[in-house]
Amino acid sequence: MRDGQHISQEDLALYALQTLSQDESAAVREHLSECDECQAELASLRGDLAMVALSVDQKPLPAGARDRFIQKIAGEVLPASTAAKFTEPISIDRSTRRSHAGWSGWLAAAAILIVAAGLGFQVSQLRARLLEMNNRITTLEAGKSHAEQVAELLTAPSAQRVLLSAPKTRPAPSGHLVYLPLHGELILQADNLAPVPAGKTYELWVIPADGSAPIPAGLFRPDAAGNGSVVLPSIPSGVSAKAFGVTMEDAAGSKTPTAPILLAGAVPASGE
């Protein structure tokens, strides 16, 4: 398994895939605990595996999945049922304790022990909860004090207010796009674009909603003021888009976009 001083890449890949036997995994873990180099390679392999996972076609969530999750985290924050359990009184019937003897006495003693054990458990839970609440109160008080300090500073009449901005900062690039899927018609007006190096160009992409490959939607170069536009490029009609993006490509354009995306915008859910 060892490749000289290190775990071989083959075995590290299998370890990342969690497909080694228990013994083999234990040996790798032991080596990893002492080897930064193999840890780094394992992290890279997991990064590769994340990309393999990304190759899976996206499927819609089951109906109601989001609501179920939101309800679950809301319930976790306010455990009303748990609170009720903590405050519920425990009744003890004293009359039965006096009227039985012999085995019934032992049974009653056993029952009391069980109740006592239960009470002990509840007490320990209550203590843990009390500790947690105390910690939260401390945190909230610290936050409140900080917030009050901030509020005083912001509202103080004697406070000096100064606007700071970076000198000669270039405004952030942005683009406004209008798209009519039915006719395959599109206009993009982009502003504040960075100059394009020689041999390069900006390229606009339509990202189809059905998950198919991005469609090239025109090349453009900004003018000296950083303004650029694409007007009625030749693109197929009837394509439902989920997003648009702009990348920088070689001057002749590209059939597939090259990361990073320089400008991006998602189509609103309403399609407007």
Partner 1 sequence: MTLAPESPSMPDQSNNPVPPGSRTQNERAISAGMHKSEVGSDKSLMDRVRVREQQAMSEIFDRYARMVYSVALRVLNDSGHAEDVMQEIFFQLWRSPESFSSSRGSLGAWLLVVARNRAIDQLRQRRSAEPVDEVVLASNTNLQSEAERSIIMQKVQGIIGNLPNEQQQSLQLAFFEGLSHSEIAEKTGQPLGTVKTRIRSALTSLRKRLEA
Restricted to residues 126-185, the positions that interact with partner 1 (CB under 8 A) are 142-143, 146-147, 150, 172-179
Q: Which of 6, 27, 35, 46 binds partner 1 (CB under 8 A)?
A: 46
In sequence order, the 6+-apart residues with CB closer than 8 A to the CB of 205 are 214, 215, 216, 217, 244, 245, 246, 247, 257
Terminal-residue alpha carbon distance, the chain = 58
- Copy the structure tokens of residue 37: 């180099």
Using DSSP's 3-state secondary structure scheme, residue 184 falls into coil
Tokens at residue 145, please? 């004090």
Instruction: Return the residue of 5, 33, 51, 165 that touches partner 1, per CB under 8 A.
Output: 51
Of 34, 57, 88, 93, the residue at the interface with partner 1 (CB under 8 A) is 57
Q: In this complex, which beta carbon is closest to partner 1, that of residue 29 or of residue 100?
A: 29
Peptide bond before residue 260 is cis, with ω within 30 degrees of 0: yes
The candidate with the shortest Cα–Cα distance to 126, out of 82, 92, 91, is: 82
- Window contacting partner 1 (CB under 8 A); options: 12-20, 96-104, 124-132, 221-229: 12-20
Quote the crossing angle between the two packed helices 36-54 and 9-16, to the nearest 10°. Answer: 60
61-80: contacts with partner 1 (CB under 8 A): 61-62, 65-66, 68-70, 72-74, 76-77
Token pair listed for 63: 């109906």
Judged by beta carbon, residue 65 or residue 123, the one nearer partner 1 is: 65
> Token pair of 181, please?
């899927």
Work out how close the CB of 122 gets to partner 1 at its nearest, in angstroms, rounded to a whole number. Answer: 22
Provide the β-strand partners of residue 201: 249
- Nearer to partner 1 by Cβ, of 77 and 80: the residue is 77
Secondary structure of residue 208 in the 3-state scheme: strand
**Residue 48 touching partner 1 (CB under 8 A):** yes
Nearer to partner 1, 19 or 237 (CB): 19
The piece of 90-98, 121-129, 209-217, 227-235 that touches partner 1 (CB under 8 A) is: 209-217
Smallest separation, CB 37 to partner 1 (Å)? 13
**One residue of 3, 17, 26, 127 binding partner 1 per CB under 8 A:** 17
Contact 227, 244 (CB under 8 A): no
By the rule CB under 8 A, 28 interacts with partner 1:
no
Cβ at position 35, least distance to partner 1 in Å:
14
Query: In the range 228-257, which residues lie near partner 1 by CB under 8 A?
Result: 242-246, 256-257
Give the number of residues in contact with partner 1, rule: CB under 8 A.
81
Q: How far is the CB of 230 from partner 1 (least distance, A)?
A: 11
Q: Which is nearer to partner 1, 175 or 218 (CB)?
A: 175
Q: Judged by CB under 8 A, which stretch of 16-24, 80-88, 109-117, 124-132 contacts partner 1?
A: 16-24
Instruction: Extract the runs of DSSP E, i.e. beta strands, from the chain.
Output: 2-3, 6-7, 174-180, 185-191, 200-208, 215-220, 228-231, 241-250, 263-266
Interface with partner 1, residue 104, by CB under 8 A: no
Residues in contact with 166: Cβ distance below 8 Å, sequence separation at least 6, in sequence order: none
